Chain A
Amino acid sequence: MIVTENLYFRYADEKDENCFALKNVNIKIKDGEFVVIIGHNGSGKSTLSKLLNGIYYPTQGKIFIDQLDTSDESLIWEIRKRAGMVFQNPDNQLVATIVEEDVAFGPENMGLSSAEIRLRVDEALDSVSMGDFKRKPPHHLSGGQKQRVAIAGILAMKPKCIIFDEPTAMLDPSGRKEVMETIRYLNAHDRMTVVHITHFMDEAVHADRILVMDEGEIVLEGTPKEVFSQVDTLKSIGLDVPQVTLLSYELKKIGFDLSGENLTVEELVEELCQLK
């Protein structure tokens, strides 16, 4: 679905020729996969997401979305149709004054018939459970609800893949939970390819694969278990591991017979109970 080849990117206003925001990024994301990209501020994760959607063009190397090259300007609208993008601030991505009008914005831009748009809007709102808020103005909704409307706006364009650029960063814990549940539902139920960019470690636990970025490079890659067991590497680049994993890791270090890779409380409890 998404392939990048030797991707380098330097911002246009960057004077230093050798100062790349992204360095030699090679990723392959398969159809239906749930990939989480983590990294601290300035690690290049948001830059990468904007490159995937054709908002920025690579300085060197190539990006293919569904075999389409993002540096080919004639393909840009097709690429954006296939790889939708949800941004961080829910307020700054809603266009219309009524929820359903906003969801219709994408399909309207695609030039679909009004009956088709109506169908897609209702479907999209139902899959994020916001059907009851159809006629409400967005400023009457909570942050989590607004973000779900933004997701519906992308879903109505029927993309194959959605790139989430820190969609939960500005939400309260309950809003985060709503949005994470929606994302996981879309991946599990609709087989949507999800690229989720975040700096919350606990959101990465359910991913199929985690990519860890630092200084514009991919430094670690693997399943959540594989990645989170590298506690020392993660700490050296300023990232935390989920608390449960940390506890398990520390216990193992002082001699308990544990795997040190537990991701959920239940898993750790299970393992602890089996200790003699």
Chain B
Amino acid sequence: MLRDITIGQYYASDSVIHRMDPRFKIVASMLYLVSLFLVDQIIAYLAVVLFIGSVIKLSRVPVGYVLKGLKPIFLLIVFAFVINIFLTPGQGSPVFEVGFIKIYAEGIERAFFMAIRLILLIIGTSMLTLTTSPIELTDGIEYLLNPFKKIGLPAHELAMMMTIALRFIPTLLEETDKIMKAQMARGADFESGNIMNRAKALIPLLVPLFISAFRRADELAMAMEARCYKGGEGRTRMKVLKYSVLDLWGVGIVTLYMAICVVM
């Protein structure tokens, strides 16, 4: 059951969006997030929907697959919607009134905006992870953070940590599975009892898992040193990120999109 968890839900394909430079995609996603909070008119949201819609179309990721990403935060959206609809004070007379519950026109409007914003936000960010593999993402982040090295930000170390974490997630999951089975064979019970009991049952799982993770870290460090790893200094890359004509097109389109959002 643990094996089904995937981190960074990448959807492999060879579309124009997939082929774009990860650095550009990361920056574009950030601009997109900003644009969501710039616009405050229904008509402007049409531009946003049109933009993200064409990105999805170009990426060849099935729309249903993208929308599936909304599932885990569905409750959050409903919650934000309800809170906004009930708690926004309005100027005029309430549209609806029962006892102490008052709903104003402004509340309805804000609730809708909030919900749409949240949905578009999630879709936008998941488009980044769907079309960019975790390695490309870490590479992109490393490059983008490089200028901040001067003020002491460990850009390379951060990226290396992310890569190693990604590399070891499946290994540690497998190990968790193994330890769980071993403990279950000796009568451990992870599935019954109240929350406290279940949490307690996890201790014999977590202790060996942590010990083994530390041992792995130690061995990995030794293996990395044996392969001449001495930090980011003087290190080159096999795959050097290069901007292509595609990214130029992307820059044009995103600029145009941002301009529209600002004007509206």
Task: List chain A positions with a Cβ less than 8 A from chain B.
Answer: 50, 53, 55, 77, 80-81, 84-85, 87, 89, 91-98, 100-101, 104-114, 117-118, 121, 137-139, 153-154, 157
Contact = CB atoms under 8 A, between A and B. Distances in A.
Contacts of B234: 111
A77 B223 contact: no
B134 A97 contact: yes
Contacts of B222: 50, 55, 87
A97 B238 contact: no
B219 A105 contact: no
Given A95-B167, A95-B220, A96-B163, A84 B238 contact: no
Contacts of A98: 135
Which 9 pairs of residues, A with B, have the shortest CB-CB distance?
A93-B223, A104-B238, A92-B219, A139-B170, A109-B228, A117-B238, A106-B227, A85-B226, A111-B234
B71 interface: no
A194 B23 CA distance: 43
B18 to A, nearest CB: 14
A118 B163 CA distance: 20
B228 A55 contact: no
A92 B216 contact: yes
A105 B227 contact: yes
A44 B94 CA distance: 84
A109 B238 contact: no
A95 B164 contact: yes
B93 interface: no
Interface string B230-264: 10001111111000000000000000000000000
A95 B171 CA distance: 12
The SS class assigned to the A binding surface is: helix
Contact of B167 (A80, A104, A110, A138): A138
A154 B228 CA distance: 10
A94 B164 CA distance: 9
A114 B227 contact: no
A80 B238 contact: no
Contacts of A117: 236-238
Given A114-B237, A138-B167, A93 B174 contact: no
B47 interface: no
A190 B234 CA distance: 29
Nearest to A94: B167
B166 interface: yes
Contact of B238 (A53, A118, A137): A118
A256 B170 CA distance: 57
A55 B227 CA distance: 11
Contact of B219 (A89, A108, A157): A89
Nearest to B174: A139
Contacts of A84: 226-227
Interface in B162-189: 163-164, 166-167, 170-171, 174
Given A91-B216, A92-B220, 14 more contacts: A80-B227, A84-B227, A89-B219, A98-B135, A101-B239, A104-B237, A105-B227, A109-B228, A109-B229, A109-B230, A111-B234, A117-B236, A117-B237, A139-B170
B175 to A, nearest CB: 9
B237 A87 contact: no
Contacts of B236: 108, 111-114, 117
A31 B153 CA distance: 45
Interface string B134-151: 110000000000000000
A121 B238 contact: yes
B227 A154 contact: yes
Contact of A153 (B134, B167, B227, B235): B227
A93 B239 contact: no
Contacts of B239: 101, 114
A177 B37 CA distance: 61
A97 B167 contact: yes
Nearest to A92: B219
Nearest to A110: B228
Contacts of A77: 228, 230
Nearest to A103: B238
27 contacts: A50-B222, A53-B226, A81-B228, A85-B223, A85-B226, A87-B223, A93-B220, A93-B223, A95-B220, A95-B223, A95-B224, A96-B167, A97-B166, A104-B238, A108-B236, A108-B237, A109-B227, A109-B228, A109-B230, A109-B235, A114-B238, A114-B239, A114-B240, A138-B167, A139-B171, A153-B227, A157-B228
B64 to A, nearest CB: 26
Interface string B109-137: 00000000000000000000000001100
Contacts of B171: 91, 139
A85 B219 CA distance: 12
B227 A87 contact: no
B79 to A, nearest CB: 35
B40 interface: no
Interface string B206-218: 0000000000100
Contacts of A154: 227
